[in-house]
Amino acid sequence: MVQIGLPEKSQIKKGKYFKDKTGSKNLKKVNVYRWDPSSGENPRIDTYEVDMDNCPSKVLDVLNKIKNEIDPTLAYRRSCAHGVCGSCAMNMAGKNGLACTTPHADIDGDIDIYPLPHLKIKKDLIGDLDGLYKQYQSIEPWLKSSSKSEVTEILQSKEDRAKLDGAYECIMCACCSTSCPSYWWNGDKYLGPAVLLQAYRWIIDSRDEERQARLKKVADELKLYRCHTILNCTSACPKGLNPAKAIAEIKKMLATAKI
């Protein structure tokens, strides 16, 4: 059943206010979702006043500044800082994206930072993505071909290779899946845009020999058809990919091909 509200223990309270100590004139308020697993308290929103004169351009830089200079207890995932690893996926100003590629200048007023939506929180901005990884594993994201070709390379035409463009670039940051209302409320069964984009990537790979079996596996009322083309996924993708279109292509294949 669709649960619109948050459970009682997940209700967000007002948190601490960190006043600026640098005396800067160019301040920006940053509201950050905090939850400490050891405290037993509800999540809260802490507000930081950040000196924007000495801050690089991206939201991740703002978070680094807070952690290094204001409050070292803040927890968030980050690694490459160049939009390649997908670690710093979070919800900024009401939209999912990578903190390292989102310029804070694009956000008017206060910067609101939340973890990716509808996840169990481990700490602060760190959400639990185990369910998504299990679903990713369930589509068997590896090349399946008969044993005879194991010793030689499998050739692919330029046209067949071009079909993978827009699908193989996915970094599994989960921005799309956690932006999807269908995935919020059916995430235990519905595979979600990220995993379905990868399912599509293996279905259309000309070298793969399990196309039929892959299609059959994904052809499920809950696994696939919970997509109602809300299109939050496509607008959230920080790599500019189009999971909604990939899902539509899978549906089209199932509607036209005999399985």
Partner 1 sequence: MVNKPPLSPHIQVYRWQISSLVSISHRITGIINIIAITLICLWISLIFLSEIEYGTINLFLNSTFGKFIILGITWSFSFQILSEIRHLIMDFGYGFELKTTKISGLIVIFGSVIFTVIFFIIGKNFL
**Residues at the interface with partner 1 (CB under 8 A):** 4, 6-7, 9-10, 12, 33, 35, 37-40, 42-43, 91, 93-95, 112, 114-122, 127-128, 179, 181, 184, 228-232, 234-235, 242, 244-245, 248-249, 251-252
CB of 228 to partner 1, least distance (A): 6
Distance between CA atoms of 10 and 78, rounded to whole angstroms?
Answer: 24
**Closer residue to partner 1 in complex, CB, 69/112:** 112
Q: Quick one: 1 exposed, middle or buried, by C-beta within 10 A (0-12, 13-18, 19+)?
A: exposed
CB of 181 to partner 1, least distance (A): 7
CB of 5 to partner 1, least distance (A): 8
CB of 245 to partner 1, least distance (A): 4
**Closer residue to partner 1 in complex, CB, 55/111:** 111
**Closer residue to partner 1 in complex, CB, 55/247:** 247
- Closest C-alpha to 63, from 102, 116, 19, 117: 102
CB of 235 to partner 1, least distance (A): 5
Rg (CA), the chain: 21
Burial pattern 164-177, b for ≥16 Cβ within 10 A else e, equals: bebbeebbbbbbbb
Region at 192 (left for phi over 0; alpha for psi -120 to 50; beta for the rest): left
Distance between CA atoms of 140 and 182, rounded to whole angstroms?
Answer: 23
**Closer residue to partner 1 in complex, CB, 121/195:** 121
Distance between CA atoms of 78 and 86, rounded to whole angstroms?
Answer: 8
**Closer residue to partner 1 in complex, CB, 118/144:** 118
